[in-house]
Every structure is written in structure tokens, then in C-alpha cells.
Amino acid sequence: MNRLFLTSRGVLRLRFRIALSFALVSMVIAIVVSVSLSFAASSQIFSQIQRRALTTAQLAAAQQDGDLHAQLIRPEDDNSEAYRLLRNRNAQIMTTDPDITSVYTMRMDNNGNIYFVVDVVRDDVAVFAEAAKLGEFYIEGTPLLTRNFATMTEALAEDEIYTDSWGTAMSAYAPFYRSDGTLEGIIGVDISADAIQAARQSFNNLSIIITILVVVLVSGLGFALGSMTARPLEEMAESAEKMIAGDFTQEVNVGAKDEIGILAESFNQVNTQLRGLITDLEGRVAERTVELTSRSEELEKLAAQEERRAIQLQAIAQVSTIINTVQNIEELLPRITSVISDQFDYYHVGIFLLSEDKRFAVLRAANSEGGQKMLARNHRLQVGGAGIVGFVTSTGIPRIALDVGDDAFFFNNPDLPDTRSEVAVPLRLGKQIIGALDVQSTRAAAFSQSDIDLLSVLADQVTVALENARVFEETRKSLAEAQNIYRQYLRTQWTEFIREEKRVGYIYGQDKTRALEAPQAAPEIDEARSTGEIKIVQDEDTRVAVPIKLRGEVIGVLRLKLQGNREWSEDELDIIRAVAERVAIASENARLVTETQRKAAKEETIGQITSKISSSVNMRNILQTTVEELGRALPGSEIVIQFRENNEQG
């Protein structure tokens, strides 16, 4: 048995040495090839995932509502509607890619600390690490994030895989802004590193299999070719060295069909198989690269669609903001047309409202230069007449003219010569048509059904704005009328009260208080009473007159005088104003108490007289009791009760 493996000198036979040598060489080659391919593929996949994380972060930033995000200040704001909306939006972003493990927004406080605002993590990640709370510091932030947070103007991605409490992932960050352009925060997106790890493991397994197959195959061939001469072996050694260097194009001369020749031929076959494996691996890497590139293009298209959607939502939000802040129709409608034109780059945006007789659609606002000329001449279109606006206001059906030269409903307008396509949607208040929103573009076929849907939403916003403005104007007029009536009531009541009290005021001086016999005549008093504003006079002495106002109605004047030419300090004036306000309130309360007491006394007197009259049982006693009680209640009066005679007419 030993002679099969050993020579007579105890040395391993050549065939086994050759087999062992080829086994070692093939193993080295397989390892080098596998490591090279694994490194190249891993680098390519890492780069693709890095770009995917960067694209996803840009997409997520485009979908953030900076103004809504700015409302999240305190930890308890995580129960607010704004927090729920932002969290749901980021959760939807996370569902666009199964490898995304978390989407989170961050801010930096004045001390340079980064803290979370809205954090959404995948369910399998949440098992090990829950989503961060609003206001929780991000103490594991990477140097790239910490260094660039305050100055970040574009999306950034980590140069390597990063591990923190939420796992191992590739992270990318992008800034997002409020509607006024100020930086609101940074959004981060984590993509799981499982893809890279899986690719690496796949190539490692493949390398091990290739190495085992090559070693087994070459060992068998080496055993079969063990009796070859040294020359073919040297040739094969040289070829092996070139293969180690990466040149797999070498061919060994087979020579005679002996063991060495067979070994040389087998070596060539192994070389061919290795070239095939390398080519196959390169093809698989290329296919994976194409697949990742296609996925990246799809994400870019999705990002473009979401960016347009974000712009549309921003326009709707701006119109909503205008509705909530502007109540005057003359100011409201032009601002709405400007916002729609600026956000979507439309050539002309006009708002038509129906006339009172519903026969004409009158242009009320426009953003373009031609639209301003039309407004100046009170441009109007007949309902149901020529033109898209006439059609829409009569039927209530949106209408698109993809090419105004071919559309029979289009009405050529010399003030808008560059119009190529037009769309109009009705303005509805309930089931009633009140006008139309008209949009025109310089491009042919510029509008689609999605534009009609968007403009219909904006038209509903415009209708709400018009109705709100109308209700606000009516409420304002009603409030002004109510205030005027109440002021007249106060003026009448105080005039009657002062006449009944027979007092015009009080004066304090020389350490005593006395009633005024007649109103004081002073310019500052008259001016404060007439204007309702404080009046300060400074000549030989310093005087100030402060109106005593009740619900905007001046019921008196508080006048103070300082000896000498000294100015009043702000604190002194604030005290005087506060006292005047409290005097007004206290005086009104006192008047109401006095009036209530008088009414109570009058009712009591009437009750007493009625009681005594009711106790009488005959006409004489009733009449006598009536005149006597009235005489007591109204001393100094002459009381007469006289019935009408039968012959008296009337």
C-alpha cells in the first residue's frame, strides 16, 4: 500500500506531488478570483445602495411639509394632528422600498444638540429599538451628520455602513424647508445593510464551491498526469504563474497523449472552465448592475412625480393660507391667481364671477398683463356664449382646449395672443354655479385630467374663500351696526343718568374733594372728549386729559395737572390710563345698580298701590284709594280721574 504513494526512498510519488501542486495552485487561483470578484461586486452594490439612499432622502425631503413640521415643538405635540400627518406620510415613504428600516426628521437646538422630531421605524426594527420620541437627543449621530447639520443645503449619504441602536444600515440625509424658505430640519433615511451582506455571503459561498471543485478536479488530473516529463510541467508552472497574475488566456501544449499530455489537456480545460466561470460571474454582476440601475431610474421617476405632487399640495396649502388670512375679496382674488400662476408656471390665470342677473361672467381677477387690460375695461363673457368660460358657466362641466386653434369652443382674445391651450373649471357654491377658474398656457396640450382634478380642488378653495369673505363682510357690518346701537344706547343712558343725578363731576385739590358746580372749560378736556385720545399740554404747568371710555363711547374725562414744567413719565401715564379704564367700568356698574334700584323701587310702589286698590270692593273706594296713593307716590302732583260722559264723541 505504501508503494502506491511512496517511492523506494520513502519520497512521495511524482503523480501525487503533481496532484498536490495543482490542488494548491487551483486553490490559490480560485481564491484570488473569488476575492477580486467579490470585492468588485460588493463595491458596485454598495455604490448602488448609497445612491438609492440618497435618492430616497431627496424624495422624502420633497414630501415634507415644513410649515406643518414647525408646529411640533414640545414632546406632548406627538399627540397632535400635525404629528400624525407627518408620521403617516413618512410611513408611506418607508413602504416604497422594502429595505428602508427607518425615516426620521431632526432639528438642532441652540446648544448644537441634534434631536428627533418625527421618527418612523420598520416593525421588525421596532422589536429591538422603539422609534425615538419627539425631543429625544440623537447621541449616536455620525461625524458626517454632526459636521454638516447646520449648513446642509443638499442631500448627503454616509461613506460607509453605520451601526447604532436601530441596527446596521446605510444612512442618507436631506434638508427640508418651510414655505418662507427657511431651513426647518433634516430628514434621515436608513436602508438596511442586509443586501450588501447577502451579496457578500453569496459570493463567498460561490468562491468556496469553486475552490473545492477546482481542487478536486485538478488533483484528479494531476494524479492521472503524474508521469509527465519535467518540460510540460515547467510549461504548466509558467502558465500557472501567469494565471496567478490574472492572465487566463494561456494554453498548455498537450504534446503526446501520455499522462503528462492528458494532464496538460486537462489543465487547459480547467483554464477554460475558469474563464467561463469568470465570464458568467461578470455577466451576473452586469445583470445586477442593470437591475439596480433600472430600479434607480424608477425611483427617480417616482421622485419627479412626488415632487410635482408636493408642488401641487404646496399650491393648495398656500391658497388655503390666503383664505384663512385674507378676508377682503378685492385683495383675495388677485393673490389666488398669482399663487396658482407662480406655482405651476401658467401664462394666464383668471377668476370670473357671474353677474347678479346670471347672464354674464365678469372677470374679477387676473395675474397676466393682458388680464390687467381686460380688468380695466370690465371684461365679461356671455354665459353659454362663445369661449370655454361661457361653456363652463352655463353647463358646469370642466373644459380643456388642447390646441386653441382647433377647438370650436375657444374664443380668440387679442389681449392673450400667446395662448396655445386653455382649461376652465366651474366655481360652485352647493349646486349653484357662481363663476369659473380660467387657466391658459403657452404650450399646446399642456393640460390633462389630473390638471382638471387639481384645478377643481383649487376652484373649491376659491369658492370657500368667496363665501368666507361674504360671511365675514356681513358679520363685520352687523357687528358695526350692533356696536353703533350699543354706543347710542350708552350715550342715551348716560345722558339721562347725568341729568337725573345733577352732578357734572368732582375735583380734588388742596387736600380736599368737592363736587363741580359746572363743567370745566379747557382745550385739552374738549379735545380728549371729542377725539377719544389722551391729550398732554405743557406750558406754565403740565396737564393731561384722559378720556373715560366705555365700549368706545366717551362718558367723561379724567384731567390731572402738575405744578411746574415737568414731563409725565410713562409709568405715570400707564397708571392714569389704567385708572380711567377702571373708573369707566366702575361707573357703569354703579349706574346699572342705581337704575336697578330705581326700577325695583318703582315696581315696589306700583305693587303697593295695586294691592291697596285690589282690597277695595266698590267703585268709590277704588277711585279714592287710587288718587290718594298716587298723590303720596308723586308729591306735589294734582291727581284727577274722570270718566267719559255718554254724549262724548270719540
Number of C-beta neighbours around residue 347 at 10 A: 21
Specify the CATH architecture of the domain 506-586.
2-Layer Sandwich (3.30)
Identical fold between 327-474 and 506-586: yes
- Looking at every residue in the chain, the average pLDDT score rounds to 77
Instruction: Please report which confidence band the pLDDT of residue 230 belongs to, taking 50, 70 and 90 as the band edges.
Output: very low
| Tens of pLDDT, residues 483-524 | 777 777 776 766 666 666 666 676 766 667 776 666 777 787
Specify the CATH architecture of the domain 76-195.
2-Layer Sandwich (3.30)
* Spatial strand order in the sheet of 535-538: 535-538, 542-550, 553-562
Task: Give the separation between CA 446 and CA 444, rounded to whole angstroms.
Answer: 5
**pTM of the entire structure?**
0.38
**Domains in the chain: boundaries:** 76-195, 327-474, 506-586
* Mean pLDDT on 49-61: 88
Instruction: Please report which confidence band the pLDDT of residue 183 belongs to, taking 50, 70 and 90 as the band edges.
Output: very high
Residue 408: is its pLDDT beyond 60?
no
| Tens of pLDDT, residues 82-109 | 999 999 999 999 888 888 989 999 999 9
Task: Give the separation between CA 428 and CA 110, rounded to whole angstroms.
Answer: 49
* Mean pLDDT on 105-123: 91
Domain range 327-474, CATH class? alpha beta
Higher pLDDT pick, 270 / 501: 270
Higher pLDDT pick, 105 / 14: 105
Residue 264: is its pLDDT beyond 70?
no
3-state DSSP call for residue 555? strand
Beta bridge mates, 172: 157, 189
CB-based contact 320:340 (threshold 8 Å) = no
